[in-house]
A = this chain, B = another copy of it.
């Protein structure tokens, strides 16, 4: 079982560790001498071993160590010089290549670092990461049972597990390259279900279709409408309440209005966990509206879907079981690793395949000796489709549904702690009480505290976050995102869910914001 390759104690010393003659040597062989392959497996595996050690040390050990920087800021021109990116005619020594692996690690952002709060992904799960390495090494494609027997069955099982959490005992689904494309699938499926002729004839013969989503939904709804030929003008934006949740009554009004203008309402894209505020649209109420008007109900739960693991918090998505489709990205809150994005469907009529199939005979031969329903590829708009299920499956096996539930519950506890601390400190002003783990706040520097009435207050406040952000990146101490929203000027969005996070990281965060912003 154990691998018997010699582990060199110093992978970067040239010429002494067997790495030098290596792989390139073979390729210098006569092109027409076919007796030997070009790549030498043993030399290649030696290189991989050395690279693995650098990855563990630089990315995983240092990259999760709070005594180390989150990022090593360089101006683009300077970084390009340091990395020597240019691609040349001749190859390089193994020694130089290992140095390159180290450089890439050094100047990349440590997204696993406990003080990386910049995106809706963060942290690392080592079981998931092992699953990802396994996936990369096995290098196959999820289109037929023939080339991916384990992964076809595994994807079906993982999708079944996710659907069960939604509340469906049957259904369909697929892993997609990100939540945006999952959302596009939902639009295309809704369109095909209503007008199957669209697949062959296109949109020209159809009435104008409209899509409804809240004003705080993700921008992918717009991108999808543009890409699918529906057009962004045919996205009708529904109002939200103070917490950022879609208002069902406004949805109902806007559907009626669209109908009266001759459009055919197609789909409502609800959001479970909005990108900025972390708001959950009231799914049960929206389901009533969708039922009344016979619209496809899609839930973009890319960010919030993981609350379904938690007995305590799954009420946030009450009504999700009434949806037609759900997009859920375990690469976000569950730390499965990019990319891991599931599209889940309640449909049991094989809509996914009917809508997307092209019946290519070179891949999906019908005279195979096994059940060709296991050839999943024709459900997809892709041909090559990456295997995204292994990481989630192995992590789920490792900690169980209960372990994943605990991580979700813990994230809420973290958010609550952060909110309480902010209330105790002068200068931190919450946008609202969070219902999820997005903690949105302004930092009010001493110079403008108590001056809300001043004419230039909003202008000055808007400039605070970008400066603090620049300072933290240049010092490399932490990373957090900021943005404006509607009439609210730049504020920070802190997200707390990484399994590497502890109280001291949150205390550090608050201290650091104060330190970086105190003179502004």
A423 within 8 A of B: no
Interface centre among A52, A79, A158, A179 (most CB of B within 10 A): A52
Number of identical protomers: 2
Contact between chains at B45 and A61 (CB < 8 Å): yes
Nearest B residue to A64 via CB reads: B41
Contacts of A151 in B (CB 8 A): 108
Given contacts A146-B473, A149-B107, whether A338 and B139 have CB atoms under 8 Å apart is yes
User: CA–CA, A498 to B23, complex, Å?
Assistant: 15
Complexed CA–CA distance, A56 and B181 (Å): 33
Counting from the closest, the 10 A-B pairs by CB-CB distance are A229-B229, A202-B231, A44-B126, A177-B177, A51-B130, A34-B503, A362-B483, A219-B358, A219-B360, A3-B53
Tell me whether A61 and B3 are in contact (CB under 8 A): yes
Would you give the 0/1 interface string for A384-398, flagging 1 where the beta carbon is closer than 8 Å to chain B?
111000100110111
Q: How far is the CA of A197 from the CA of B406 in the complex (A)?
A: 49
Q: Say yes or no: is A90 at the interface (Cβ < 8 Å to chain B).
A: yes
For residue A298, CB closer than 8 A to chain B, the reply is no
Is A426 in the interface zone, CB < 8 Å from B?
no
Q: In the assembled complex, how far is the CB of residue A394 from the closest CB belonging to chain B, in whole angstroms?
A: 7
Would A109 and B402 be within 8 Å (CB), given that A48-B60, A202-B233, A338-B139 are in contact? no
Interfacial chain B residues near A458, Cβ < 8 Å: none
User: Given A108-B148, A136-B136 in contact, is the A56-B3 Cβ separation under 8 Å?
Assistant: yes
| Contact assessment for A184 and B381 in the assembled complex, using a CB-CB cutoff below 8 Å | yes
Residue A147 at the B interface, CB < 8 A?
yes
* Structural contact, A134 and B502, CB atoms closer than 8 A: no
What is the bound-complex CA distance between A329 and B141, given in angstroms? Answer: 14
A193 within 8 Å of B (CB atoms): no
Residue A199 interfacial (CB < 8 Å):
yes
Please give me the residue from chain B that is nearest to A88 by CB atom.
Answer: B400
Residue of B nearest to A416 (CB): B32
Q: Does A241 contact B (CB under 8 A)?
A: no
A437 part of interface (Cβ distance < 8 Å): no
